[in-house]
Structure 1
Amino acid sequence: MATPASKTSKRKWPVIVLLVLTLLLLLFVIRQLDRTPRTDDAYVYADTIDMVPEVSGRIIDLPVRDNQAVRQGDLLFQIDPRPFQDALTRSRASLVALDRQIELTQRTVNAQQYNAESVRAAVERARAAASQASDTLHRMEPLLSKGFVSAEDIDHARTAQRSTQAELNAAQLQAQQAAAAVSGVDALVAQRAVVMAEISIAELNLEFATVRAPFDGRIASLTTSTGQYASALKPIFTLIDTRRWYVVANFRETELKGIRPGTPATVYLMSDTSRRFQGTVDSISYGVAPSEGGLALPGGLPHVQRTINWVHVSQRFPVKIRIDDPDPNLFRVGTSAVALLHPERRNDGERH
């Protein structure tokens, strides 16, 4: 007959075995979590841009609808191009008129230059005549005392010398006036450069009136229609870049050891937990906004909410995972996800 002590001992064995199994399972789970970090604090992300017109005007064509997929080069919207076409036509007409004006002005300038050259030649002739008259007077004056020339001849020579000198002075003044009268086309050429700049701006504005998709993507937040007046630099809608999809997973700082860009990852979405997607770590955030007091960091840093405020818990840092082969029907910006990282796979690959 079994004693009470033996019965108590038999009842303890299952409890001890259960505790041992629980401890082993706990150790196994901890080891797996250490080897394969996992988090359900994750969401789908893709790059986005705001589609804003560079010019203001009335939307005359809007061939896309909200949530529509578009290809690179597809027409997104068209702003009425007539004001910009008119500005371009006017600038081109101004350029033609200015070129004609420059041509006519250049002819006048050429005539002024020819006149100035002619007057300079007249100055040289007057200078030569004045020099000859002065030389003649100087040669005749010594001959007067010897009786070879009369006083009347000397008077005539002096009169000729004064006359030719006066003609030289008059020719020099005319040369100065002719030189001053010579204008140029520099101001018109500078004005032509301004008109050319206006033409370039008009051509650019005309090009800006037609907005096309810069990449493959999907329309989001479209809340307007044809006929709406679009203001420059005011978004019309958002374009999601569907060429690359990411999952941003917030991992505890204690789990970041061994995680590097290129670390393999497995991801599944809460919208369809039966699908598994493979990816690699693209980058790891180097800063988050602290939830407690301290240094004031830039407001652009990501803010990751801590779930327990009365216990010192590990900070979480966003890890950006690029998905290798995303399903375009499942991946939506903001979709909840679960991410598992495999640091050992990367390390094994490196050893090979």
Structure 2
Amino acid sequence: MPATNKPRSARVRLVSSILFGGIALAGILIVLYAWQLPPFSSPIESTENALVRGQTTFIGPQLSGYVYEVPVQDYQWVKQGDLLVRIDDRIYQQRLDQGLAQLGMQKAALANNMQQRRSAEATILQRQAAVESAIAQGQKAAADFKRNSLLISDGSVSKSELGVTRAADAQAKAAVAEARATLEISRQDLQTVIVNRGSLEASVQNAEAAIELARIDLSNTRITAPRDGQLGQISVRLGAYVNTGAQLMAVVPRPRWIIANMKETQMANVRLGQPVTFTVDALENRKMHGRVQRISPAAGSEFSLLPADNATGNFVKIAQRIPVRITVDDDQTDVDRLRPGMSVVVSIDTSQDGDVPPDPVDGTVEKNK
């Protein structure tokens, strides 16, 4: 019996060592595959840290007032320009009417200024004629005085007559000076009217600007959709008083894209234009396709409100995340069912290149980098 058991024990140990070695090798292979290390490395870079994004626009009023009309409902599709909320516009209509009346007053004052200018110009012509008349009278008085001064020597003119002509000459000279002064006053009055016109024209422009502001306020009582899209929940109700900037609802347009937060260790071979596949959790892991459109200029931590300060004694290295924007191909089934905020699992094929897709909003195309 002992002779037959010895070879059997050796065979058991040999089998056990082979099994143990196989299990160890299988474990090593599993670890290599799980960590995507050679020979199991793959050009596919994947992450679960990805969400569907969209241009969610929050709608709010630019002025305060009572809500007069809410013709839309939750989750309704709207077109650009469709009425969403109307605020009571009676006060703003009266402000517009008041501005129009004020503009009429300022235009009437401006027209009156033009009439004053014409009157001042006519007065100047009248005063110029008065100056010329006074000059003529002065010349006559001066000639009479000169003639009487020559005749006084032979007794043809009495001293009293000479005194009268002297006084008349002096009076004529004073009349000329007075007429010229009156003419200068008229010219200054005209200049005052001209200067005042600039002030009146500014008043008209100010009234016109006030009217335009009143029209803007009146138009802002009608809150319309900025673009085509689907509404979120309506948080405003008929008769409520809303303040400027209050959030009334949100509009979500159709364009969708993916923001995938890749680890920095995955970014070595990621390039613009590379094909992407992603699965959507909300659609039973439906597989869809897209392309890398943009790569963030910095890690997500650089855009945080409180940036991390690693200049401390205790430091733990953490792989940073680089946001990658991915466009969604439009020619896919159920692409319209994507909603901003949905979770997706993204896989980028770094072994392929492609053209950078255009922006779904402005249609611009970036160079492949």
TM-score category of the 2 structures, normalised to the smaller one: 0.7 to 0.9
**8 A contact 1:261–1:281 mirrored in 2:** yes
CA contact 1:59–1:80 (8 Å) conserved in 2:
yes
Q: Give the distance between the partners of 1:91 and 1:154, measured in 2 at CA.
A: 71
Counterpart Cα distance in 1 of 2:74 and 2:224: 16
The 3-state SS of whatever aligns with 1:39 is strand
The TM-score normalised by the length of structure 1 is 0.81
Q: 1:323 and 2:328 equivalent?
A: yes
The residue number in structure 2 matching 1:248 is 259
The residue aligned with 1:43 is 51
Q: Structure 1 residues 139, 43: CA separation in 2 closer, same or farther (over 3 Å shift)?
A: same
How far apart are 1:131 and its partner, in Å? 4.8
Q: Is the 8 A contact 1:244 1:322 kept in 2?
A: no
Instruction: Give the aligned partner of residue 175 of structure 2.
Output: 167
Structure 2, unmatched stretches of 5+, are 309-313, 357-366
In structure 2, relative to structure 1, the CA distance for the partners of 1:52 and 1:200 (3 Å cut) is same
Secondary structure of the corresponding residue to residue 259 of structure 1 = coil
What percentage of residue pairs aligned between the two structures are identical?
A: 24
Contact 2:152–2:162, Cα closer than 8 Å, also in 1? no
Summarize deviations over 1:296-330 as a string: whole Å, max 9, x none: x76187x9xxxxx9963312222222222273553
Instruction: Return closer, same or farther for 1:24/1:136 CA change in 2, 3 Å cut-off.
Output: farther
**Pair 1:131–1:343, CA change in 2 (3 A):** farther
Cα distance 1:288–1:280, how it changes in 2: closer, same or farther (>3 A)? same
Matched, 1:263 2:274: yes
Cα distance in 1 between the residues matched to 2:207 and 2:295: 52
Contact kept? 2:301, 2:320, Cα under 8 Å: no
Secondary structure of 2:111 counterpart: helix
Question: Is 1:346 aligned to 2:353, yes or no?
Answer: yes
Partner SS state of residue 218, structure 1? strand
Q: 1:66 to 1:126 in 2, by over 3 A?
A: same
Following TM superposition, by how much is the alpha carbon of 1:36 offset from its aligned partner in structure 2, in angstroms? 0.8
Matching residue within 77, 90, 96 for 1:88: 96
Q: Which residue of 1 aligns with 2:214?
A: 202
Match status 1:299 vs 2:305: yes
Tell me the equivalent position of 1:73: 81
Q: 1:114 Cα deviation (Å)?
A: 0.8
Structure 2 CA distance, aligned partners of 1:53 and 1:190? Answer: 31
In the alignment, which residue of structure 1 is the partner of 2:362?
A: none
The separation in 2 between residues aligned to 1:192 and 1:12, in whole angstroms, is 103
Provide the C-alpha distance between the structure 2 equivalents of 1:314 and 1:322, rounded to a whole number of angstroms.
25
- For the 8 Å contact 1:271–1:330, the answer to whether it is kept is no
Is 1:120–2:128 an aligned residue pair?
yes
d(CA) in 2 for partners of 1:165, 1:310: 105
Of 196-205 and 252-261, more deviation after overlay is shown by 252-261
Q: Give the direction of change, closer, same or farther, for the CA distance of 1:151–1:259 in structure 2 (3 Å limit).
A: farther
Q: Which runs of 5+ in 1 are unaligned?
A: 291-296, 304-308
Match of 1:239 in 2: 251
Tell me the distance in 1 between the aligned counterparts of 2:337 and 2:325.
18
Q: Aligned Cα RMSD in Å?
A: 3.5
Q: Deviations over 1:277-298 (max 9, x none)?
A: 11122323313337xxxxxx76
For the 8 Å contact 1:34–1:255, the answer to whether it is kept is: no
Correspondence for 1:178: 186
Query: Whole-Å Cα distance in 1 between the matches of residues 223 and 164 of structure 2?
Result: 90
Partner of 1:294: none
Summarize the Cα distance change of 1:227–1:118 in structure 2 as closer, same or farther, 3 Å threshold: same
Name the counterpart of 1:306. none
Paired position in structure 1 for 2:363: none
